[in-house]
Amino acid sequence: MAPDAQLGELTDRAVRLLGRAPARRRVLIGIAGAPGAGKTTLARRLAAAFCQLDDEVRRARLIRRHVEFGKTTEEVRDWVERLDQVNARIVAATAPAADLLIRG
């Protein structure tokens, strides 16, 4: 299998695994391999997989997660608007430079 096809297959597999993760659980994906094996490329593709999440869905998930871990809805909404939205705009502005975008 060609290296690009392998990376695509690994990316798809990781996204499917994340989709099956239990609700309210964090997921850690480890990437290991020899130098030049494509670890950084795979990591970039996985990161890009989350660039295209609908803004309202992203906000709702973020708020829900922080409320579940003890913050008030008001605290989280304020934090989302002051800090997370700034980061979201940076991600949106740089997303076109990503090699792969997957809508979530």
3 state SS for the chain: CCHHHHHHHHHHHHHHHHHCCCCCCCCCCCCCCCCCCCHHHHHHHHHHCCCCCCHHHHHHHHHHHHHHCCCCHHHHHHHHHHHHHHHHHHHHHHHHHCCCCCCC
* Residue 49, domain extent: 3-97
Structural domains in the chain (count): 1
**What was the pLDDT predicted at 50?**
59
Residue 25 domain flag? yes
pLDDT above 70 for 10: yes
Residue 103 domain flag? no
Residue 104 domain flag? no
Q: Which residue has the higher pLDDT, 47 or 39?
A: 39
Residue 102 domain flag? no
Segment 24-40 mean pLDDT: 80
Q: The whole model's pTM is what?
A: 0.45
Residue-wise pLDDT tens digits, 46-101: 776 655 677 888 788 788 888 888 899 999 899 888 888 887 787 777 777 766 56
